[in-house]
Amino acid sequence: MTQRKVKITDVAEYAGVSVSTVSLVLGNKGRISEATINKVNEAIKALGYVRNKAAANLRSNQSNLVGLVLKDITDPFYTEITAGFSQILEKHGFMLFLAQCGDSPERLETCVQSMIQQGVAGVAFSPLRGASQSVIDMLSQAEIPAVCVARATVNDDIDYVVPDNTLAAKRATQHLVEQGHRHIAYVGGQGDSLTRAERIGGYCTTLIQYGLPFKNEWIVECEGSQKAAANTVQDLLTQHPKITAILCHRPATALGAVYGVERANRTVGRDNYIGQQVALIGFDDVAEAELTHPPLTFMSSTANDIGTQAGKRLVQKMKSTEQAVEKVVLAPELISRGSA
């Protein structure tokens, strides 16, 4: 036979006290004598009572759950954010409630709504066009602290922790110009991407600053896979052989670009004068960057640091709601290798 689950009423009866007294002892509240506390604890031990923490959280309006909604948890960039974020939460006794929304505003809204229904203490999420404001409104109405992570939002009333995408693209483009490149392309991402828009802004601004040409046909969208990037880069270099350098929107784009360059009968590298090599620079460094030949140059804003900073900020907001909005922008770093 299945053993009946021990309830708080059983503990109260065994200890000879009221249910409210047991509840106060469990919550470490009220003025309860040492003798009564000992009786309740002895009853808990004797009966094998296990406290339902989720129910207790609901009763006390407290929770140890924190939500994190990211675009793609399989992407190495977001995986590192999750690791940094989770590490901070665990140090403060919180558990992570993780979800992904892809590019769907509706999915982002659903994920956050579900987290609110589960009684989370706070939420961090990556904004999406078409959903950010509605999500912020939902969280505000539920009085749940929130932080935007990895992507900035146009709303000035919410904290965010983001990489400086515009500056990263500026420095990457400047690095290529200083190496003598005059025909530089941008490959990857989709037209509705906030991150892509920021990077293209930095790329175009730098070209204009140096009086260099940029053409719409040199700024090409493509899907996130290496295969899509390889095909796109091959077509781009075949149609526009003057291009000698490419900024690659994401790690998979840079890795796939290596194959696209080779298929276009070019080689990857810094020599754009004699050998007509094609220089490649990616964004958001990954371990695989050092496995290509030559190794890939990247602009990196450490994703783990983004997660760590977002975790710290959300913990602060959960402990005290009376805080000014804080916007953290992390500077990029050029990791120079053989591809540029």
Asked if residue 253 and residue 311 are part of one domain, the reply reads no
- The answer on 209 and 285 residing in a single domain is yes
Q: How far apart are CA 167 and CA 189, in angstroms?
A: 18
Tell me the average pLDDT across 186-210.
Answer: 92
Q: Which of 38, 48, 36 is nearest to 10 (CA)?
A: 48
In a domain, 196, yes or no: yes
The pLDDT, as a whole number, for residue 62 is 62
Q: Are residues 117 and 155 in the same domain?
A: yes
The verdict on residue 338 lying in a domain is: no
Our count of domains for the chain comes to 3
pLDDT of 3 over the 60 cut:
no
Is there a single domain that holds both residue 295 and residue 173? Answer: yes
Q: How far is CA 177 from CA 182, 199, 242, 288, in A?
A: 6, 16, 15, 26
Query: What was the pLDDT predicted at 308?
Result: 96
**Whole-model pTM?**
0.73
Q: Which pLDDT band holds residue 74 (cuts at 50, 70, 90)?
A: confident
**For residue 19, pLDDT beyond 80:** no
Q: Say which residue the tokens 């409210």 belong to.
A: 20
For residue 210, the tally of other CB atoms under 10 A from its CB is: 11
Q: How confident is the model at residue 130 (pLDDT cuts 50, 70, 90)?
A: low
Same domain, 149 and 170: no
187 has a pLDDT exceeding 80: yes
CATH at 110: 3.40.50.2300
Q: Which domain holds residue 277?
A: 165-300
Q: Which has more confidence, 157 or 71?
A: 71
Please tell me the distance from the alpha carbon of residue 14 to that of residue 47, in angstroms, as a whole number. 8
Q: Is residue 2 part of a domain?
A: no
| Amino acid sitting at position 70 | L
Is residue 291, in this structure, part of any structural domain at all?
yes
Q: Which two tokens stand for residue 101?
A: 């929304």
Same-domain pairing of 291 and 174 = yes
- What mean pLDDT is predicted for residues 273-283? 85
Does residue 3 sit within a domain? no
Q: What's the whole-number mean pLDDT along residues 87-94?
A: 92
Tokens representing residue 53 in the block:
């923490």
Which region among 49-58, 192-201, 278-287 has the lowest average model confidence (pLDDT)? 49-58
Average pLDDT, the chain: 87
- pLDDT per position as a tens digit, 61-71: 567 899 999 98
What long-range pairs does 139-147 form, CB within 8 A, spacing at least 24? 139/112, 142/116, 143/321, 144/116, 144/120, 145/121, 145/314, 145/317, 145/318, 145/321, 146/122, 146/314, 146/317, 147/122, 147/123, 147/310, 147/313, 147/314, 147/317
| pLDDT computed for residue 59 by the predictor | 47
Q: Which of 100-109, 265-274, 282-291, 308-317 has the lowest mean pLDDT?
A: 265-274
Average pLDDT of the residues in 307-311: 96
